[in-house]
Amino acid sequence: MQENQLYRKVYAYLNSLPSVEDSDFANLLSSSKSTEISLVLDENQTIIDQFLGARVHWKTENCERNGTKSLVMKIRKNDKRRILVPYLQHIHQTFDEIEQKRKEVRLFVNAENEPQRNGRWRSTPFTHPATMETIVMDADLKTRIKSDLENFLKSRQYYHRLGRVWKRSYLLYGSAGTGKSTFIAAMAKFLSYDIYEINLHKLQNDADLKYLLLQTTKKSILVIEDLDRYLDEKSTALSLSGILNFMDGIFSCCGEERLMVFTMNSKDTVGACALRPGRIDVHINFPLCDFTAFKVLANSHLGLKDHKLFQQVEDIFQTGAVLSPAEICEIMISNRGSPSRALKTVITALQGNLASRVGRRLSGSGPGPEDELDGPGKEGQNGIHPMKEIKNLYGLLRARSSRKASIDKFDIDPIERDNSGSTHTHE
């Protein structure tokens, strides 16, 4: 016998109501996730719901004659006309939300084109532990991105009214190890969306990419990592227009209600047309670690809210020394048994970075990483002349190396969060 979808939806909806917990006859069931316990209504139970000021009575009934189960709804006559349709719509919507939360997030990757295989995607449960909470980024920016994603989820009607496909695309850009991939994992968790990660190297031509796209489902995030490399190197069998069409062409419309996320290390090497609005809606910069982000990492990785060495770390950050969050995380994880040693190792690594930057500048061996100081004759990033800046940096290096790092005690004081990071988002 075919399952009645409306019964299934209403039943799931009723079991999600807080009033089920107050019922004398609710059953405890363990759900598909081993740690979760859910409450479900017993047979012949009545449950009361409130909607738009009306009371709705539901009763679970079991027909002994043919063994079928039913749900009987009672509403006052006066309320019926007013609330029935919106109430049923509300049930549908709530059910979709319940299903979405319950859904196991999966990661799909495209495989080589093997004719004997049925379809090109291979999938596995996506169990990455990153969440929006574990991502270290400017707090303001994080809030804005979360509300952008939440608004997207609720915007079906809005997009349709505008005649636009219900999709949104994000560019995450920044140096290696700044958290772009981790952020995608957090987005998928936040939305309960599957991830489809596309490796363009495995595709043979533009049509192949379109075919892959047709095999994706809605409520998903399509990801192309290192887009700049693909656009720049001409390293794939795809044409530039094939990739650009994938981003916003007619095929990108199939299976709406989804995000496209592209990552790259720098926007500088990519032509403006690839990044124009419409093709990519939101650009998010992932910066290297600054002192504010360092403090957040020290708190989460080492349990430190403050430490005497923090001042030294701050000083060296102010000279322009840089490390990626990934590098700092790694140092902290390896030295988590000794916070002081972890901080000293961070300081040494920052000094090493500073020394190599100064060395590169003095030897004139060209620009370093993208955040490098400006070229000779120009002002540096702090508005200081480069030669003067080098002198300052050397002074600081000497002073730091002669300073005895001897602190083993730390205070646990709350530190006010400085939200003036350099991250930004724009549309």
Enumerate binding residues for ligand ATP (CB under 6 A).
Answer: 135-137, 176-182, 265, 286, 325-326, 329
Q: Which residue is nearest to ligand ATP, using beta carbons? A: 179
- Of 205 and 266, which has the nearer Cβ to ligand ATP? 266
For the CB of residue 332, give the shortest distance to ligand ATP in the complex, in Å: 10
CB of 325 to ligand ATP, least distance (A): 3
Burial annotation 24-44 (CB, 10 A radius, 16+ → b, else e): eebeeeeeeeeeeebebbeee
CA 351, chain centre distance (Å)? 32
The three-class DSSP label of residue 54 is strand
Nearest-angstrom CA–CA distance, 181 and 330: 16
- The residue (of 180 and 210) whose beta carbon lies closer to ligand ATP is 180
Inter-residue contact 307 to 280 (CB < 8 Å): no
| Residue 322 phi, psi (nearest 5) | -135, 145
Angle 325-334/339-363 helices, nearest 10 degrees? 140
Q: Is the CB of 102 or the CB of 144 nearer to ligand ATP? A: 144
Tokens for 234, please give them.
Answer: 């001409």
In angstroms, the CA 255 to CA 166 distance is 9
Give the residue with the Cβ less far from ligand ATP, 137 or 397: 137
Whichever of 284 and 397 has its CB closer to ligand ATP, that residue is: 284
In the complex, the smallest distance separating the C-beta of residue 302 from ligand ATP, rounded to whole angstroms, is 14
Query: Among residues 141 and 405, whose Cβ is nearest to ligand ATP?
Result: 141
Helix (H) or strand (E) holding 186: helix 180-191
Pick the closer one to ligand ATP by CB: 180 or 283.
180
Nearest distance, CB of residue 82 and ligand ATP, angstroms: 49
Other CB atoms within 10 Å distance of the CB of residue 225: 18
* Smallest separation, CB 203 to ligand ATP (Å): 20
Distance of alpha carbon 386 from alpha carbon 236, whole angstroms? 41
Are 401 and 393 spatial neighbours (Cβ–Cβ below 8 Å)? no
**Nearest distance from C-beta of residue 272 to ligand ATP, angstroms:** 22
Contact 321, 350 (CB under 8 A): yes
CB of 106 to ligand ATP, least distance (A): 19
